[in-house]
A = this chain, B = another copy of it.
Amino acid sequence: MALRQPRGAASPLANDDLYAVFARLVRVHTRLWNQLDARLRSQHAVTLADLSSLEVVAATGGCRVQDLVSTLHITVGGASKVVDRLVVAGYAERAPNPQDRRSSVLTPTSAGLALLGQVRGDVDAFLSQHLATPLSPAGLTDLDRLLRLLHDHTITAPAGHRE
């Protein structure tokens, strides 16, 4: 007779070890994202989604909408609307692209750079507490190495309609 399971019924995916790893990845991600997003909303009146895009704009020279698509893995329409919000908020600007008039060059405003500077303390404090602390320093290095492997692999893999 089998021992009583804490999970009463057996799901066809319940004994799938690979799915278990993936599910854990998703849930850890969701939790970290939601908590950091809530902190940024309350402390700096900005969402983590907008901040992530702003960071890419600031870090990428001659950034175009397409760069947000390929870096963040969001759709073109979504990227265009994020930029709309950043421009309205005064954090970024669209400038005509002299090299290709189909696209604009995105640049952070001084207010955008100031925002990135202001949030850094909170972001670091949060990630120290929820990412660095629970992992040993070696664990953090390991995690980064494994994520790089996954990232590099998906880069070159054939796939769907997103870039």
Binding site for B on A (CB under 8 A): 5, 7-14, 16, 18-36, 38-39, 52, 55, 58-62, 71-74, 107-108, 113, 116-117, 120, 123-124, 127-135, 139-140, 142-144, 146-154, 157, 159-162
Q: Is the CB of A38 within 8 A of B160?
A: yes
A135 to B25, CA, bound (A): 14
Chain B residues closer than 8 Å to A159, beta-carbon distance: 35
CB distance from A42 to the nearest CB of B (A): 9
Residue of B nearest to A161 (CB): B38
26 A-B pairs whose Cβ atoms sit less than 8 Å apart in the complex: A9-B59, A11-B116, A12-B58, A13-B58, A14-B58, A18-B124, A21-B131, A23-B55, A24-B151, A25-B28, A25-B29, A25-B147, A26-B52, A27-B72, A28-B147, A30-B72, A31-B154, A34-B73, A38-B160, A38-B161, A130-B154, A130-B157, A131-B150, A134-B149, A134-B152, A134-B154
